[in-house]
Amino acid sequence: MKNYVEQVNEQMTLQEGTQVIEQLLLESYLQPGISTKELARRTLLPVPVTAAVKRELINAGALIQEQGVRCTSEGAAWIEEEWGYRGLDRSFHQALFQSNEWDDELSVILKKLKTLFPLRPSVDVRIDQSKCTPETSLRRAILCLQQHALIGKRILCVGDDDLVSVSIGLLLKKLFPNGGHTATRIDVMDIDERFIRYIEDVAKEYDLPIRCHRIDFREPLPLTLCGQYDGFFTDPPYTLQGMSLFISRGIQAMKRLKGLPIFLSFAHKSPAFMLAMQREFVRMGLTVSASFPHFNEYEAAEMIANRSQMFILRTTDQTEPEHSGAFTDALYTGEVRQTLRTYRCKQCSRHIFVGIKGEIATIEQLKNEGCPSCANDTFNMVEKRAVSGSGDPG
């Protein structure tokens, strides 16, 4: 069958990449008769560009102009075959785009999650685990759907003590009530074998398309898992190093395409930390397409007031991982608090001591202020050692 997205991409060069062509075609399939103006609003494209993409899809035989725009029978068949939309419960799907309330349909999924979540393994605070609520886990799955990043995609969870993979799997079963949907795959990478076993048991019991891999993110990602995924979720350790490492591993695992989504959950932090955090995004060639304060709720996480924010990041043609080899820096909150780390400036090679008893308290402060000698903001960690004392430096 014709690949309509590739055909249009050959005819016109879009800075946004092929993802917007895919979304425009999908919106026309899901909302027959949609106007060009509404397509522009949903794809965030200028109206003239939207009209040009629509025209190319009409020329390719995927769309037809008829009281708005809609898919041809050939176009609809291609979407259902290639992207796995055949058998979709359209009324339920549409309802999820119109409301974030827990209606009767979602309450069935939530009821299952509320029986599964209390049976999760206990958290290991040494690796910064915390338990989000069942509502939060399901809310993440719905957000993935609303971003057109779920059906027919290969989704990765970089760490999954929040059971997002399970929520996505159960949501899929509700979206395709007659079964037979095989186009969506969900993978989990986690270091904790207890969570891996639990997720595998749940996936087997409910027939969910989940595959688990025991991965220590300090080690380079296996080549067999690189370049495979359309997007990923992560709720990393709430340190700058932890965030950068987990996102780097996710980037390595993703396909090399523009516009792919990264769903990042992270604590609300100080302006200085947020500045350093956004510099990491820029350094890795990522853009922030959306942010939702207080999106995530956790059980017994008083240190972060039981809430954290959700970022949706997007890849660009400059996206590269900050870390691709072995990672030797302090990673988890406890490690960062108890170590004195020596960083070398990548530009002038000056050594700077970072930690409670160092020249600068935190790595985010160092990156914000730059090297004391040359103002460069990129560094390599060359040594770390334990120090006595307590308190949070950042």
Q: What angle do CA 144, 145, 149 make, to 5 degrees?
A: 65
Query: Does residue 309 contact residue 273 with C-beta atoms inside 8 Å?
Result: no
In this prediction, residues 162-191 reach a mean pLDDT of: 96
Q: What percent of the chain has pLDDT over 90?
A: 73
- Among 207, 228, 188, 230, smallest CA distance to 83 is for 230
Q: What is the pLDDT of residues 17-65, one digit of tens each?
A: 888 999 999 999 999 999 999 999 999 999 999 999 999 999 999 999 9
386 φ, ψ (degrees, to nearest 5): -70, 145
Task: Report pLDDT for 392.
Answer: 39
Query: Does residue 35 contact residue 70 with C-beta atoms inside 8 Å?
Result: no
74-78, 99-103, 168-172, 304-308: which has the minimum mean pLDDT? 99-103
**Most confident option among 17-21, 207-211, 303-307:** 207-211
d(CA 93, CA 71): 18
What is the identity of the amino acid at 29?
Y
d(CA 272, CA 360): 13
Q: What is the pLDDT of residues 246-273, one digit of tens each?
A: 999 999 999 999 999 999 999 999 999 9
Confidence of residue 389 (pLDDT cuts 50, 70, 90): very low
Task: Report pLDDT for 1.
Answer: 53
Does the pTM surpass 0.85? The reply is: yes
Task: Report pLDDT for 125.
Answer: 67
d(CA 217, CA 220): 7
Give me the helices (H) in the chain, please. Answer: 4-11, 18-30, 36-43, 47-59, 73-82, 90-98, 104-116, 134-146, 164-175, 193-206, 240-253, 271-283, 333-337, 363-369
333 φ, ψ (degrees, to nearest 5): -55, -45
d(CA 287, CA 378): 19
Query: Does residue 159 contact residue 234 with C-beta atoms inside 8 Å?
Result: yes
241 φ, ψ (degrees, to nearest 5): -65, -40
Task: Report pLDDT for 185.
Answer: 97
